[in-house]
Amino acid sequence: MKLPIHTLETAAEQARPIFDATTQARGFVPNVYAVYGTLPDAMAGFAGLTGAFGASSLTPAEREVIQLAVSVANQCRYCVAGHTAFAAEAGLVGAHVQAMRNGQDPDDDRLGALARFARKLTTDRGRNCTSEHAAFLAAGYAPEQALEVIIGVANKTLSNMTANLLNLPLDAAFAPYAWSPLEAAA
pLDDT of residue 108: 96
Q: Model confidence at 186, in pLDDT bands (50, 70, 90)?
A: low
Query: Boundaries of CATH 1.20.1290.10 in the chain?
Result: 60-160+172-185
Where b means 16+ CB within 10 Å and e means fewer, 86-125 reads: bbeebebeeebbebbbebebbebeebbbbbbbbbbbbeee
CB proximity list for 177: less than 8 A, separation 6 or greater: 80, 81, 82, 84, 85
- Mean of the pLDDT values across residues 69-96? 96
**Residues 104-128: what's their mean pLDDT?**
95
pLDDT at 1 over 70: no
Read off the pTM. 0.94
Nearest to 26 by CA among 150, 168, 171, 165: 171
Instruction: Identify the CATH class of 60-160+172-185.
Output: mainly alpha
Residue 29 has pLDDT above 90, yes or no: yes
Looking at every residue in the chain, the average pLDDT score rounds to 95
Q: What is the pLDDT of residues 136-179, one digit of tens each?
A: 999 999 999 999 999 999 999 999 999 999 999 999 999 999 99
Task: Indicate the residue type of 102.
Answer: N
Instruction: Tell me which residue of 93, 137, 95, 98 sits closest to 116, measured CA to CA.
Output: 137
